[in-house]
Structures are given as structure tokens and as C-alpha cells.
Chain A
Amino acid sequence: MTEYKLMKGNEAMAEAALIAGCRYYYAYPITPQNEVVAYMAKNMPRVNGTFIQAESELAAASMVMGSAASGGRAMTSSSSPGITLKQESISYMAGAELPCVIANIMRGGPGLGGIAGAQGDYFQATRGGGHGDYRTIVLAPDNAQELADFTVEAFDLADEYRTPVIILADGYLGQMSEPVVLPKPTGKTFEKPWAVTGAKDRKQNIIVSLLLHPENVLELHNLHLQEKYERITQKIRRYETYKTEDADWLLAAYGTSARIAQKAVDKLREDGIKAGLFRPTCLWPFPDRELAECASHCTRLLTVEMSHGQMVEDVKLAVNGAIEVDFYGRAGGALPTVKDIIARIKNYEHSEFTHVQAS
């Protein structure tokens, strides 16, 4: 029999990190992701790993950089304002091509904002976040099970592409307890000949993010990074579709918003209205071609977010004007409602109907 455990999303993610072989975790507490820190403090000794409650978010992210540079599987987590503070190191690690996993259990902003879940950090996560021309892989789970599964995958992706990977989930997913089957280790191993492990009987490894000489070295490095991002974009296409095959009305949403949107699809279908859901499970690279394909036979698309419209920009880029893209969002800790989504779609259905009559 499958052994389900009732776990908070935060705890499921923390345990999954240990399963994935994460042995270095550094963080500074912040609601609504504190359970990750608490879980790691309690359980890291069990696997002989290192846990440090750092003096600040900046320090925690810098410690991750150190462990990653020496070849360890390292992770930090925080919530929105804390992730902002970590951007310096994230940019450095992107530049120095250091693999690591960073979880952002988002709360409402801007500023210190509130402590309830939100999705206002989509731009920050998918556009790099720190300074410079870089991207990070951004995985977007929508339940505790995926928080666990995606975390295991995140460590492999980080090592495979030598890049920071972000897990982007809202505070509701972190706080909510759900049945979870803990994932198994993937068994994949990655050679890290570049790591700083003590240069005994080999050439010295130097890991830097400052490139000054020769004159064109930084341009070449940037071209190399862009080539890598292109490879990632070709390879990573992650999304889920729900009842999209015959849909007239397509919803696009991720995380908690997607759960609510899926419920709306079911309710609309009960009333004979053909709605479907496209859910990206990776936000960068964004599954643009796949979304466009899905939307090609739909009449209109509605993006639902716990923000005032961020992913909707990627959705618009994806469909490239082929169909009308509308937006519905609530922020500051509030959740979109099934009722509101249904009202929107029924309104589309109604206006389409009257339009047909008039012509």
C-alpha cells in the first residue's frame, strides 16, 4: 500500500531536499517558510549534514555559494523579502555557474508586505532577480506532493546545468498540510571537476564571478551563458493541461491559483461550458509554444494569478496576439475565487452569444 503522510508543504520540501542529497542548508527565518528552517535544524544532523541559521539572508545565500563552489548540494529558502536580500548571491552564482536550490515561499508585497501567501514574485524569479544578464530555472509546484517531487528534480537540474534553480511556491502551499508520498532519490550522479575541493595532484580550480582580463572575457562568458540558457529552453518544457482538447475558454494559472482555476473548469463543465486549464509547472523556461498550441482552438484566454498581472505577460508573449488574453488576479494575501472565475467565463460566453445574434 502507498504510504501517505500528512505533511506541510514546507516540511515535504525539506525532507525531499534531504532525500535528494542536500547536505548544506543555510537560512534565516521568515514566515511563511519557517517550517523549512525548523525541519532542517532538527533533521540535518540525522544525515550528517550542515545546518546554519545565518545572521542574515545575505549571509545564508553566501554560505550556499561557498558550499556549492566546493561541490556540495546546497540549499536555502526564504519568503519574498528574504529572497530579495539573497539576490546578490543568486546573481553571483548564476555568473559563476554554481548549482544550488533556492525556495521562495511567497508572501504578499511590496516591501515587508504581509505574511499570507501571494504570487507577486513571478517577475523577480523569472527575469533573473538580481543584476546582470541571467536566468534561473523556476519550478512551480501546486501541492505538497509536487513541492517534494520538484525539489528532488531541482537538485538534478541544478547540477546538470550548473545553475541556480528556484522553487517558486506561495505561502498557502508552504503552510498547507496534505497527503504526501515521499519521493525516492533519482540515483543520478554528477561529476564536478570544477569544484574547489583542495587542488591536490590537479590544476587549481578558481571560481569567480568577476571577469576582467582579457578584455573580451566577459562578453564571451555571457555568450556561453546565453548558449546554456538556450539549451535549457530547448530541453525543459514543463506544463500540465486539464480538459483543454475541446476547450473554448482557456485558463492559465500556476500554484494555488491553478488549483482554484481547475475547480472552476470542473464547475463550468457541469454547466456545459467548455473550459480548460493550462498550468505551467516551470515558469522559466516558460512553455510558450505548448501554450500557443493549446490556445490555438480557443476563443479567449484568462490568466488567473495571486498578483496584479505578472505571468500574464509571458502568456501574451506566448500566444503573440493570436487570441485575446484577459486577466483576473487578487493580491496581498487574498485568493482568487472559483465564483469570480466562473462569472468571467460565463460573461465571455454570453457576449459571444449576443455577438452571434447581432450579426
Chain B
Amino acid sequence: MNYPTEEIIIAGFGGQGILLAGRLLCVAAMRQGRQVSHIPSYGAEMRGGTANCSVVLSAERIASPVIDMATAVIALNGPSVAKFEPRVRPGGILIWNSSLCKKILPERTDIQSIAIPATELSLTEGTERAANMAAIGALMALKPKLMTENHFSAALDEVVSERNRRYNPVNLRIMQAGYEAALAIIKKN
């Protein structure tokens, strides 16, 4: 299968599982034989500001882990939308968390802007901490070549610590909810 190189930025605030979501994408791709790189932002980030990571997935050797213009951005809070919407390539994808972005809304019309109520989808399972899973689900709907549900589950078991692995069935359901939500949006357009 022909895999296009994906350059994905995931952003939100600390505690939303930004780095874990990035590692999950990497492990799922790595297990399918792809080259991957994951690099966290570790700049002078402000408290309460954004945390982010850059993920590159490719059939070829990865030159730089640092992304200039992303093929997809996942923004799980308002400040992340503001910071990273300009970094989506024309024609690229922005998945944004409509549960938390109330004041700052995406503005660009040359990208595919997908509003997912990620935190609300997570809350239907009784936790607010798995918005990252809803967003990954949405990304899987928009980019079916990334991974199947089986890849997702296997990668989840690998990246989630043993202590938290008991929540994985919940994580899976929230991912599926995000997947369905994105699918509904794609069909409507």
C-alpha cells in the first residue's frame, strides 16, 4: 500500500494526554513497518498554555522531526487552535475540540476544519481525560490509511502504562465515538 508521509501536530493543555496520543500514532505506524518520529515541545511553555508534540509517519527515512506545515493538526483547546491553525497545510486537516473552544474559533477556509466535541464525548463515558482518544478516532476516520481499529487497540495497550491499562476499553469506546462523529461530518459535507 502507498503510504503518504504524514506530519501531524497534536496540541492542548498539560494533562490532556497530548504526548500519549502522539506516541500512540507512532507505535501504530511502527507496528505497520513505517518510519516514525515523535518530538515533544519543550520550549519555554507558559503554565496553563499549550503542550504539543510533532509526529512524522513515513514510508521513507524521516529527515527532520520538526514540522513546518502539518498535514493534520489536532487542537484540544482554544489556545492550540489559535497557535496551530496557521500551521495546517492548505488542503490539510484541523480537528478541533468544540467542547473547549468557545471563544477562539478556526477561521481558515482553505483547510478541512472538523469540529469534534471531544471532551463531551469523553464525558459520556464518565471521564474528561480521554478527549485525546476522541480526536484520534476522528483522525482515523479522516485518514483511513493511518490504522485500523485493531492497530489502535494494540498500540493503546503498548503506550498506556500498566496501571492505567484497565481504562483501555473506555478509551476504545471514546475513540469510536470520535470516529463516528467525524464520519457524520464527512458524510454531511
Contact = CB atoms under 8 A, between A and B. Distances in A.
A346 interface: no
B59 interface: no
Which of A116, A175, A178 gathers the greatest number of chain B CB atoms within 10 Å? Answer: A178
Tell me if A's interface is mostly helix, strand, loop or mixed.
mixed
Contacts of A31: 42
A178 B36 contact: yes
Interface in B1-38: 23, 26-27, 30, 35-38
Interface string A59-103: 000000000000000000000000000000000000000000000
B65 A262 contact: no
Nearest to B64: A260
Contacts of B104: none
Interface string A318-357: 0000000000000000010110000000000000000000
A115 B63 contact: no
A256 interface: yes
Contacts of B23: 6, 177
A6 B36 contact: yes
B39 A172 contact: yes
Interface string B58-69: 001111111010
B43 A176 contact: no
Nearest to B27: A6
Given A115-B42, A116-B43, A177-B23, A338 B30 contact: no
The number of chain A residues touching the other chain, given as a range, is 20 to 34
B62 A175 contact: no
Interface residues of B, number: 22
Contact of B30 (A6, A260, A262): A6
A4 interface: yes
B40 interface: yes
A176 B65 contact: yes
Interface string A260-272: 1011001000000
Given A260-B64, A263-B63, A175 B36 contact: no
Contacts of A259: 61-64
Given A6-B30, A259-B62, A259-B63, A175 B40 contact: yes
Interface of A: 4, 6, 31-32, 115-116, 172, 175-179, 256, 259-260, 262-263, 266, 335, 337-338
A260 B38 contact: no
A338 B37 CA distance: 17
B63 A176 contact: no
A256 B63 CA distance: 8
B94 to A, nearest CB: 23
Given A177-B37, A177-B38, A178-B37, A335 B64 contact: yes
Nearest to A179: B30
Nearest to B23: A6
B63 A260 contact: yes
Nearest to A333: B43
Contacts of A260: 63-64
Given A32-B42, A172-B39, A260-B63, 9 more contacts: A6-B36, A6-B159, A172-B65, A175-B40, A178-B62, A335-B66, A337-B68, A338-B63, A338-B64
Nearest to A177: B38
Which of B23, B30, B38, B39 gathers the greatest number of chain A CB atoms within 10 Å? Answer: B39
A207 B27 CA distance: 49
A176 B39 contact: yes
Contacts of B42: 31-32, 115, 175
A115 B43 CA distance: 7
A177 B63 contact: no
14 contacts: A6-B26, A31-B42, A32-B42, A172-B39, A175-B39, A177-B38, A177-B39, A179-B30, A259-B62, A262-B63, A263-B63, A263-B64, A266-B60, A338-B63
A317 to B, nearest CB: 28
